[in-house]
Chain A
């Protein structure tokens, strides 16, 4: 395969996460390799009180109040809190790089934003009037709040950005970080995605769109991408953050490198506000552009972390797109659908799945897809089921796909360092 010029190479030097599988990146990855589920029955009275048809979700394993200070949890929306937990871990994992603030960027996305703060504020207004509205409400609810707080935390002055593309947001943030470094606007970028929507209103809203699994009696078996009995996604929460760095900068400070982010491909379906284009044209374009951007071909791809949310239509559209793009080369791809374990982190999903793809490439292990008792006969790419599978030695390339309501398609190419 032909590599991009060395001066443009961008590497991953730090990983951080807080997810339904674990309070940090190592425990999340270990649980994913072990095939654990982060879904559980909600321990509140929402279902009874509001008639919610869904009574479970993939909630955080370690809540941020166990990690952050009390003033932090009061000043930040949960979506920002999760991002801060993940960002601090990623920064430490990268060795807290010494970098001029003018050369440091922060790109942290949320698909939905500070919805807890928004809804709490509305409750306060209705019940107690305008005089009781907390002054921090606006900076807490704004969707750029996670990016802004991460920028404040590390003194990132090259730019703080929050790209919003629903469930593709976290991947798009990493793609934007890649572009910032390639364009010479930054040497290091802290980037990722976060979401905190385990609140009865968004659950009711997603349920109303008929996209959530209703398997209330068996939460851990509910997220089952590619299984014939899949009935929708499991709403999840959490954040994942990676530290991207120019290969030159990382080498100069002797940083440990996990993998390269070698390319990004973006497209829009312009087809329907929620349904993917059944022809998969946009998905194929995103993946093709990502491979071209990375200077690799389908032949080089050994692993794909699928967007695969466990919906009837979406899962199959994606594998058909992979087959369209790769043809016979798709036979040697190992496909993983990690939402089977994590649930769907919405704006955090693309970042978490990029983190998984980075770990898969660096450790040569494709994580399993759980709950696939009966694979859909229309599944067109070899799936990693049951337990993790070894990936080849040597130079390898993997793809992470992330797609969002609105027809947003993002593909990222992760290459071995």
Chain B
């Protein structure tokens, strides 16, 4: 069963909150991981590892650099489901 984009956003927000200590509502679609949420590359890879696990998707390292905003990640995960 595929996750909706809203479910992915909520799940991703929980992962980011665990990693950074930010409140989940700070993890909004338009936010940039680096510029707005101050997430460094190691944290980003940690978030990716947890997201792959949670949503049963694969996010190749080459794709991670294209995931600038939270919305980019939600969109990628949504498209990668069932792939």
Contact = CB atoms under 8 A, between A and B. Distances in A.
Interface residues of B, number: 11
B51 to A, nearest CB: 12
Contact of B42 (A70, A71, A131, A136): A136
A135 interface: yes
A202 B18 CA distance: 29
Interface string A122-157: 000000000111111001000000000000000000
B29 interface: no
A135 B21 contact: no
A134 B49 contact: yes
Contacts of A70: 18, 21
B53 A132 contact: yes
A199 interface: no
B42 A74 contact: no
A7 interface: no
Contacts of B53: 132
Interface in B31-67: 42, 45-46, 49, 52-53, 58
Contacts of A69: 21
Interface string A64-86: 00000111001000000000000
Given A131-B52, A132-B53, A71 B20 contact: yes
Interface residues of A, number: 11
Contacts of A131: 49, 52, 58
Contacts of B30: none
A136 B45 CA distance: 9
A74 B45 CA distance: 14
Interface of B: 18-21, 42, 45-46, 49, 52-53, 58
Interface of A: 69-71, 74, 131-136, 139
19 contacts: A69-B21, A70-B18, A70-B21, A71-B18, A71-B19, A71-B20, A71-B21, A74-B18, A131-B49, A131-B52, A132-B49, A132-B53, A133-B49, A134-B46, A134-B49, A135-B46, A136-B42, A136-B46, A139-B42
